[in-house]
Amino acid sequence: MSINPTVMAAFEQLGLYEDFLKVSNPISNSHIRNADAKIESSFNISDSKELVGYEYLVVGRSKLYELLLSRVPLEKIKPGKRVISFVQNKEGVMARFQDGTTTHGDILVGADGAYSAVRQHLFKELSKIGKLPKSDSKPLSKGFICMVGHTNPLDPEVYPIFKWNRGVCDTMISNNSPWSWLTLNLPGNVMAWSATKQLDSETFADMNLRNSEWGSEANEALIKEVSDFKTPYGTLGSLIDATPRSSIAVVFLEDKFFETWTHSRTVLIGDACHKQLPSAGLGSANAMQDAIVLANCIYEMKANSYDEVVAALNGYRDQQYDRTKKQCDTMNCLSPSARAQGIAKTMMYRPQIAFLPLIPNRGTADVKPQKPSAKYLEEQANVSDYEVAL
């Protein structure tokens, strides 16, 4: 996956940036090609280095997870806990897990993706009391089916792109079929690929019915359909042949912007409240920005009271809602070139973690100014006083 440079200053604050560079490749170019894999237009993505001081980086999803996991104390993570419901009131919030256990806290953050159980439970409760906006009761809109995978390491002598240590994204678009497909070289001589089919409403209804029965047979049928598609590296079929079947996934691509992001002590972030199509390559950066802004709002709370919790969660939504909505409303309707320009405009917004030393602007483009947290500065002054006293 590609990670938008707008979160790299936060990676730097967290001491993750240098290690992230080791497992990722900067993306230099993005080409739009026709079905014969001939270039129709190209964008130089490495411009972002000059503009914001960081490049787009492409990384295998598992490598990013490994890096993030390596920085979180193990005792803070409880694997295998699936939230199924929760209760909240002025005193606190209690989450229930599928294994029958529960946990209590002051705030419940639903960072559980597009099919968020936290969102589903919250919306059920809000609906019962007539507080759910009508648009939030509608399901996510499925328009595409997408098969994704990544090959085993390939021979750089056969695929010289791997000698270059920079990523190149190639998107092939068919003029006379509902398919587009993509290749992106990852570190470790691995090629990521995907093939996406736009669904008409009838096919979608049929697939939706069969969704629960989706299995390897259906995957094989899709593989057959896309095998002859041309890429800059031979046919898509040749890349699929170099991909372990276990690392091929088929997903519906959906989008939906929800109005309700928070109620009482519960708050939603990332895909749980704004699911975008992956073509914009903004989903993970948006989710991380949500996390940064929410953490900043929680940090600024003066007390642990119910009113302070509600104010902090609403403060997060106030900061993130308009910008994300505008992005979701426009990005999906744009052509690839207009989308590239749209993405460039998102670069101004690069929130940092307010309670860590801020990283200076490293690029030439304006950055939305961020005031250092008064609480953080005060805490730092107290630490210095204490050190002097010692």
Ligand X SMILES: Cc1cc2nc3c(=O)[nH]c(=O)nc-3n(C[C@H](O)[C@H](O)[C@H](O)COP(=O)(O)OP(=O)(O)OC[C@H]3O[C@@H](n4cnc5c(N)ncnc54)[C@H](O)[C@@H]3O)c2cc1C
Interaction mask 213-252, ligand X, x per CB under 6 A: --------------------------------------x-
7 with 289: CB under 8 angstroms? yes
Closer of 93 and 376 to ligand X (Cβ): 93
Tell me the pairing of strands 25-33 and 167-173.
parallel
354 with 369: CB under 8 angstroms? no
Q: Tell which one of 55, 112, 125, 255 touches ligand X (CB under 6 A).
A: 112
Q: Tell which one of 108, 172, 285, 367 touches ligand X (CB under 6 A).
A: 285
CB of 277 to ligand X, least distance (A): 8
CB of 273 to ligand X, least distance (A): 8
35 with 173: CB under 8 angstroms? yes
Closer of 117 and 373 to ligand X (Cβ): 117
Q: Which long-range contacts (CB under 8 A, 24 or more apart) does 132-140 make?
A: 132/260, 133/259, 133/260, 135/258, 135/259, 136/258, 136/259, 136/260, 138/256, 139/256, 140/114, 140/254, 140/255, 140/256, 140/275
# of chain residues touching ligand X (CB under 6 A): 22
Does residue number 293 form part of the binding site for ligand X (CB under 6 A)? no
Does residue number 284 form part of the binding site for ligand X (CB under 6 A)? yes
* CB neighbourhood size of 99 (10 A): 9
108 with 118: CB under 8 angstroms? yes
Does residue number 6 form part of the binding site for ligand X (CB under 6 A)? no
Does residue number 210 form part of the binding site for ligand X (CB under 6 A)? no
Q: Residue 81 and residue 158: Cα distance in Å, rounded? A: 44
Q: Tell which one of 52, 236, 282, 347 touches ligand X (CB under 6 A).
A: 282
What's the token pair of residue 41?
């237009």
79 with 91: CB under 8 angstroms? no
Closer of 207 and 251 to ligand X (Cβ): 251
Interaction mask 82-101, ligand X, x per CB under 6 A: xx------------------
Q: Tell which one of 270, 315, 351, 363 touches ligand X (CB under 6 A).
A: 270
Does residue number 67 form part of the binding site for ligand X (CB under 6 A)? no
What kind and span of H or E run contains 287? Answer: helix 283-299
Q: Which stretch binds ligand X (CB under 6 A): 17-25, 105-113, 204-212, 334-342?
A: 105-113
Q: Tell which one of 145, 236, 271, 363 touches ligand X (CB under 6 A).
A: 271
* CB neighbourhood size of 276 (10 A): 22
Interaction mask 328-347, ligand X, x per CB under 6 A: --------------------
CB of 120 to ligand X, least distance (A): 9
Closer of 231 and 373 to ligand X (Cβ): 231
Q: Residue 344 and residue 276: Cα distance in Å, rounded? A: 17
241 with 140: CB under 8 angstroms? no
Tell me the pairing of strands 234-235 and 83-88.
unpaired
CB of 239 to ligand X, least distance (A): 16
Does residue number 140 form part of the binding site for ligand X (CB under 6 A)? no
Binding site for ligand X (CB under 6 A): 1-2, 82-83, 111-113, 117, 146, 148, 194, 251, 270-272, 278, 281-285, 287
